[in-house]
Amino acid sequence: MKTLRLLTLALPLLFGCATEEADQPAEDLTSATVEAPPENIPAPPDVAAPPADAQRTATGLASKVLQAGTGAEKPSARDTVKVHYTGWTTDGKMFDSSLTRGEPTTFPLNRVIAGWTEGMQLMVVGEKRRFWIPEELAYKGRPGAPQGMLVFDVELLDITKAPAPPPIPDDVAGPPADALTTASGLAYKVLQPGTGDDHPAAEDTVKVHYSGWTTDGEMFDSSVVRGQPASFPLNRVIKGWTEGLQLMVVGEKRRLWIPVELAYDGAPNKPAGMLVFDVELLEITKAPEPPPVPADVAGPPADAQTTTSGLASKVLKAGTGADHPGASSIVQVHYSGWTTDGEMFDSSVMRGRPAMFPLNRVIPGWTEGLQLMVVGEKRRFWIPKELAYDGAPGKPAGMLVFDVELLDIKGGGPSPH
């Protein structure tokens, strides 16, 4: 349920899927070929507002063709598109670009902001278009996301047609009489018996195919439609999935009726009410042993260093490098994060692969703290709330504690340290 590049960076904001987006401080770019990003792409002269010759739709979306396309077919909302794009706020500040990363972005059109879902359906392959997306069709003022009207230059490179969606379950409105219900209120029914014997634990990673509907029969997400299974740790999804998947064995297909309290529980811009999922468990990957909770997780010890911003840290292992990353560098790290009561909420160590991300696109405590480090160094950070998620809903709250090992620096300007 993670796809990521574009609209995924600000982007747990965009997807209404079964998984809760990871609370890691940035998107994971490990599988990408990463080069040092070029200079920011200058804003277009009409970035402040759509010009008089821009086309407008009934929703308020404005656009202008910059380059005619060579194709004839337009994507539908369920199709997957491959694009190059750059996005600016109306004051000319660039906030995201696939061009600076050196590779196009691919995503299903029904899993991005509304202005993209609508606007891309106007285009054909080879076309380049400028969009002025009003706030109501963009991030709607959500904290941590680009604000106000957004301007995008988008080139449509390819369209992958979506397969036909699975049929709506006959019993989508509610669990039938022969469904079983757990003490939490989760209802389920086995659709296909499994061939395995092991059940996943909450810390394990599962590979699944699934489709999800609201009780009025509207499909809001489907790995089947995307044509590829999804993999994720069970302790990083909605509660109904964490509980329900632990009842299953490999090869089993099950229908889950997940009550609102075990789903998104009224979270804004998420599927509402009871949700219905058909899930097939394809594979279980056992989780490694979690890193131990730091003895000083409750707060920085007396020998911790503290910066003027309030960021506290302590070197756990000296590094072998000499260079520090800059604020725009791309870094590769292993990390684990805890709340101050000792609850681990994220760990690249548990996922078994390092994470890679630009330092200017993470929480402020990471942007500041990683610039203190050199390659090979491992450091513990106590990040105060204001430099972490600052009370953002659905994110770890209060001071956060991270153990971070800096593995590599890929590019960006040097740090002044």
Catalytic residues: 210, 220-221, 238, 264, 277
> Long-range contact list for 217-223, CB < 8 A, 24+ apart?
217/168, 217/172, 217/173, 219/165, 219/166, 219/168, 220/16, 220/17, 220/271, 221/1, 221/15, 221/16, 221/17, 221/18, 221/111, 221/271, 222/165, 222/166, 223/1
Q: Which residues pair with 213 in a beta bridge?
A: 219, 276
Q: Please, is 317 exposed, middle or buried when counting C-beta atoms within 10 Å of its C-beta (0-12, 13-18, 19+)?
A: exposed
* C-alpha to C-alpha distance for 310 and 31, rounded to whole angstroms: 34
DSSP annotation of 262: G
CA 355 to chain centroid: 13
H-helix segments, 167-304: 223-226, 239-245
- C-beta separation of 174 from 259 below 8 A: no
| List of residues 6+ apart from 153 with CB closer than 8 A | 44, 66, 85, 86, 128, 129, 130
For residue 393, give Cα distances in angstroms to 19, 23, 59, 162, 386: 16, 11, 28, 33, 14
**CA angle, residues 75, 77, 81, in degrees to nearest 5:** 50
* C-alpha to C-alpha distance for 339 and 317, rounded to whole angstroms: 22
